[in-house]
Amino acid sequence: RKAVIKITTGSQALDELLGGGIETNAITEAFGEFRSGKTQLAHTLCVCTQLPTNMGGGNGKVAFIDTEGTFRPDRIVPIAERFGMDPGAVLDNIIYARAYTYEHQYNLLLGLAAKMSEEPFRLLIVDSIIALFRVDFTGRGELADRQQKLAQMLSRLIKIAEEFNVAVYMTNQVIADPGGGVFISDPKKPAGGHVLAHAATIRLMFRKGKGEQRVCKSESINCSSIFLNKTHIFQITPGGIAD
Ligand code: ATP
Ligand code: MG
């Protein structure tokens, strides 16, 4: 069995919540409102994954599947500099692909698995896991079909995480919950229903705080973290996620 590696998020508070960082051989999901930092964490992880293991990294390459067109190579530069790495070399080790349909997204995963058997990857990002499903399956009558296709996508991700000892980081959107007439304190919940909830090893909820401050809470079902339900505060800085 391959040893699990923990990759730093750039924030000690977030790392503490995660028990050291995001884990290989596991799926980490971040959901939360717009601008809450899900994509910024993805960019930070693109760099941290390439750090040597004695610096909290995974010493490996990164695959980035972008379904929303929000990856910014320029953003990698100051983050790499913060960690004392050469930005050009860091960018060369990020395999990037833009997906336009959920089928395209699935086929990209198949292609990546072939690449991962040849080169040492330690992180696979899917930002976001659900966006294309919400575009490609609209009507109410399509929900069962959508959930079935989503389950297929997720089982493929789990297989990659386990087979190649890769950390999977996926982002998720929030949907308004009418709450069935019941007043609830937080009217937002993650999209994807039970299918998505059960795929994640650890589920992080992000929300905005003051200024560039962000608040994270773990909502893990499968994880035994003792930090569950404690809130942790991090910042979005030019150098990426930090305390
Ligand atoms: P969405 O649901 O829309 O995808 P998200 O959770 O992915 O949202 P991010 O794109 O990660 O949100 O966060 C965007 C925020 O990150 C910006 O609004 C800003 O506050 C912060 N940010 C982005 N770039 C920088 C930077 N260079 N320096 C500092 N903060 C930045
Ligand atoms: Mg985003």
Mean pLDDT in residue range 16-42: 95
Kindly give the interhelix angle for 143-164 and 102-116, rounded to the nearest 10 degrees.
10
Q: What is the pLDDT of residues 103-131, one digit of tens each?
A: 999 999 999 999 999 999 999 999 999 99
Q: What tokens does 208 get?
A: 């905005």
Is 40 a pocket residue for ligand 1 (Cβ < 6 Å)? yes
Say what the pLDDT of residue 175 is. 86
Q: Which atom of ligand 1 is nearest to the CA of 41?
A: 11
Mean pLDDT of the chain: 92
Strand partners, 232: 216
| Minimal-distance CA residue to ligand 1 atom 27 | 238
Tokens for 216, please give them: 């994270």
Residue 72 Cβ < 6 Å to ligand 1: no
Q: What is the mean pLDDT of residues 17-44?
A: 96
Give the pLDDT score at 142: 92
Q: How many CB atoms lie within 10 A of CB 115?
A: 13
Nearest atom in ligand 1 to the alpha carbon of residue 212 is 20
> What are the b/e assignments for 205-242, b being 16+ CB within 10 Å?
bbbbeeeeebbbbbbbeebeeebeeeebebbbbebbbb
Per residue in 196-205, pLDDT (tens digit) is 999 999 999 9
User: Which ligand 1 atom sits closest to the C-alpha of 36?
Assistant: 6
CB of 237 shorter than 6 A to ligand 1: yes
- Encode pLDDT of 74-88 as tens digits: 999 999 999 999 999
Q: Which pLDDT score is estimated for 226? A: 46
Q: Is the pLDDT of residue 15 over 70?
A: yes
Q: Do residues 238 and 78 make contact, with C-beta atoms less than 8 angstroms apart?
A: yes
Report how far ligand 1's centroid is from the alpha carbon of 67 (Å): 16
Give ∠ CA 123-128-129 in degrees, rounded to 5.
85
Which residue's CA lies nearest to atom 26 of ligand 1? 238
Per-residue confidence (pLDDT) for residue 228, from 0 to 100: 58
Question: Which carries the bigger pLDDT value, residue 209 or residue 177?
Answer: 209
- Give residue 223's pLDDT: 47
**Range from 49-63, 171-185, 221-235 that averages highest in pLDDT:** 49-63
Closest CA relative to residue 20, chosen from 29, 33, 11, 30: 11
Name which residue sits closest to atom 25 of ligand 1, judged by CA.
238
pLDDT tens by residue, 140-181:
889 999 999 999 999 999 999 999 999 999 999 998 765 555
Alpha-carbon separation of residue 125 from 134, 182, 224 (angstroms)? 19, 36, 23
| Dist. CA 114 → ligand 2 center (Å) | 27
Cβ neighbours of residue 105 closer than 8 Å, sequence gap 6 or more: 65, 67, 99, 126, 132, 153
pLDDT at 113: 95
Mean pLDDT along residues 54-70: 97
